[in-house]
Amino acid sequence: MPRTYHSVNITKEQQDFLKLMNDYEIDIFSIYNIENSLNTELPNLNVILENLVRKGFLSRIEQGKYCRANFNDEKVIGCFISDSGAIAYWSALNAHGLTEQFPNNVFIQTSKPKRNKIVFGTSYKFVKIAPSKITGLLSQGQGNRKYWITDIEKTIVDCFDLPEHCGGYAELIRAFNQTKLNSEKMITCCTAINNIAAIKRMGFLAELLDKKGLINFIRYAKQQINKKYNVFDPAGIDNGEFVNEWRLRLNISRDEILDICNKQY
């Protein structure tokens, strides 16, 4: 049903702008692209926006970026303000149902620098990566509410690449164990991140957990092994069993890994 705006405090020009937003189903926009989105020129655009913000019809997200006052989709907002961003790491684990833990931040992966910030009470953490690591993205939502999120394989690989953003290594091991992973997608994502230590850890874990669908990935991971030994948990101390085949030191034992996988939360 079309929205109407009746107020002695809103001008005809402002009403027309809000009606155009409704007609074109615009919830979030940039001052730099709104005229193209609405297919019209607005000579008093800055004045219109400032007044609609002041009157509570719009909210300013950051300089030059706005949304409807009642719009609060944190995934859409996070990706919108980071331009090249995608929901990733702990936030993507949660979105894919691979963890029941809710992160305190919305994690956004981006190839462009962006300072962490709080918008409408939600904390956003932006993780900059090399453009060559951008792969494995899924489009979610429709129209003006579209955003990107890393797919399951890319999410798992990203979390092994930068485990400090995944909510804990035990949670990551559990997610790796419980989800079905595609070998070819895993290989593509691992080739993109080019982190040999992370690839060895995932290969060892896939073999230990006897993940049948990852036979090709395990073969690929073994081809990447170098001479250097890495600890299995990069945040842990340097002790435990040496696994020559994978050039890993198990500072989390095999039994502890299996116990983590078997625990229900």
Count CB atoms within 10 A of the CB of residue 131: 9
64 and 81 part of one domain: no
- Cα separation, 120 vs 142, in Å, equals 22
Q: Read off the pTM.
A: 0.91
- Eight-class DSSP state of 235: T
> Does residue 4 lie in a domain region?
no
- Cα separation, 76 vs 70, in Å, equals 14
Q: How many domains does the chain have?
A: 2
Q: What is the mean pLDDT of each run of 10 residues along the chain (265 residues)?
A: 56 93 95 89 91 96 95 96 93 94 93 95 96 96 95 98 94 96 98 97 98 96 97 96 98 97 75
- Cα separation, 168 vs 193, in Å, equals 20
> Does residue 2 lie in a domain region?
no
> Does residue 1 lie in a domain region?
no
32 and 86 part of one domain: no
> Does residue 208 lie in a domain region?
yes
Beta bridge partners of 29: 66
56 and 90 part of one domain: no
Contact between 65 and 30 (Cβ < 8 Å): yes
Please name the residue ranges forming H helices in 39-168.
45-54, 74-81, 89-95, 152-161
pLDDT at 6: 46
> Does residue 99 lie in a domain region?
yes
27 and 103 part of one domain: no
150 and 219 part of one domain: yes
Cα dist. 110→43, 54, 125, 128 in Å?
33, 32, 10, 5
159 and 192 part of one domain: yes
> Does residue 243 lie in a domain region?
yes
Element (H, E) at 12: helix 12-23
> Does residue 130 lie in a domain region?
yes
109 and 172 part of one domain: yes
Count CB atoms within 10 A of the CB of residue 97: 11
Domain boundary, last residue among 30, 48, 68 = 68
Q: What is the CATH number of the domain that holds 29?
A: 1.10.10.10
pLDDT at 102: 84
Domain boundary, last residue among 46, 68, 90 = 68
32 and 101 part of one domain: no
Q: At what angle do helices 254-262 and 169-178 cross, to 10 degrees?
A: 70
Q: Which domain does 79 fall in, by range?
A: 75-262
184 and 241 part of one domain: yes
Cα dist. 102→91, 98, 106 in Å?
8, 11, 9
> Does residue 3 lie in a domain region?
no
56 and 89 part of one domain: no
40 and 113 part of one domain: no
208 and 130 part of one domain: yes
- Cα separation, 146 vs 134, in Å, equals 18
pLDDT at 264: 61
